[in-house]
Each structure stands twice: as structure tokens, then as C-alpha cells.
Amino acid sequence: MRKIVSKCLILTGILILSMTTYLSYDVEKSNNEIVDKYEKAIQSSYIEEPKNAQNNKNIPKDIIGILEIPKINLKVAIQEGTDEETLNYAVGHFKESVMPGEIGNFAVAGHRNYTYNKFFSNLDKLEGGDKIKMTTKDDIYTYTVSSLEVVTPDKVEVLNSKNNEKNITLITCTPKYLGTHRLIIKGKI
């Protein structure tokens, strides 16, 4: 009986590891395809009709743009919304926040867990002065990290904007894989 239980536990462990690996691979593959499609659509629209670039039908509708952070080798598509389904497969834009490059706070959230997406896994490695690049169908915006802080989940004022500045706020759970608090990365143009 012990041998059967032991073999079942080992098989269950292998199955869990396999599923986690597959989910991670699937999310990464999907993101890379979206990023490639978005970048090609933007590039072709500027080459063919620069004045009408924003009207390109090849640009995925729910994608706001591409977020790049060179220091942590991150390049991810940002989708509209922060619901669970969006955050399982992408980085999400808080609908009540401004769009990239606008005056106010452009706020996005992402996971850093074992399953689904891990796009924000290394946000804790950022430091003041690091660059965050946001490419949209209209322009490229470069934000400079200005602060990092850890807050409790109820501190929603991190979404507020500061005066007349163009800000970005990146939000993820911390400590990694537990999520009892939120890591807040702020940047400005």
C-alpha cells in the first residue's frame, strides 16, 4: 500500500511541475506572438501611411502597447483591464488611469507567480534611474524610475497622479509568490 501511495504522490508532483512548466511556456509564447504582431503592425502602418498609423486594423484592439524594461530583460504587451483573466496572461492597464504619455498616472499591474504569467517577477531588481520604455501606436515614451515602495493592498492612493506630471506606476504582489503586500514602482518622463 505504501508503494502505491508513494508512486501516486511522485506522479502527482511530476504532473504539477509539468503543468506549471507548460502554462509558463504557453503564456510566454502567446506574449511573444502578440508583441511581434503589434510591432509589425505599427512598423508597416508608419511605412505605408504615417498620417493614419493609429487606424491600422492589424493592431490588436485590446493591446495598449508594449512595455520594455531593459534592465530586467522584459518586453510584454499591455492589455486593457486588470481582471483575473487578463492578468493570468498579460500585464493589465488600470482603466481609470491615463494612457501612456498623458499627464497623470499610467498604472499597470502584473503577476509574479509560478503559474500563468511571471512578467513582473524581477521588478524588485529595479532602482532609481532605470528606464521603462512604453511603445504605443502613436509614440514611444521613456519613463525613469523615481521610487520603489512596498505597501499593503488597501493603499489604493498609489494610483493617484502627482500634479501635472506624466507618471507610470507598476504594481505587483510581494513578497514573490506570497503576495501579502504590493511592490510599487513609480517613474516619470
**How far apart (Å, rounded) are the C-alpha atoms in residues 150 and 171?**
10
pLDDT band at 51 (very low <50, low <70, confident <90, very high): very low
| 171-173-177 Cα angle (round to 5) | 145
Residues linked to residue 151 through DSSP beta bridges, in sequence order: 182
Is the model more confident about 133 or about 54?
A: 133
**Per-residue confidence (pLDDT) for residue 50, from 0 to 100:** 46
Q: Which amino acid is at 57?
A: K
Tens-digit pLDDT profile for residues 62-110: 789 999 999 999 999 999 999 988 888 789 999 999 999 999 999 999 9
Residue range 114-141, pLDDT digits in tens: 566 678 989 999 999 999 999 998 899 9
DSSP 62: T
Output the pTM of the full model: 0.78
Of the candidates 143, 133, 138, 150, the one whose C-alpha atom is nearest the C-alpha of residue 168 is 143
Confidence of residue 53 (pLDDT cuts 50, 70, 90): very low
Domains of the chain: 2-188 (2.40.260.10)
Which residues sit opposite 109 in a β-bridge? 92, 171
**8 A C-beta contact, residue 173 and residue 112:** yes
Of how many residues is the chain composed?
A: 189
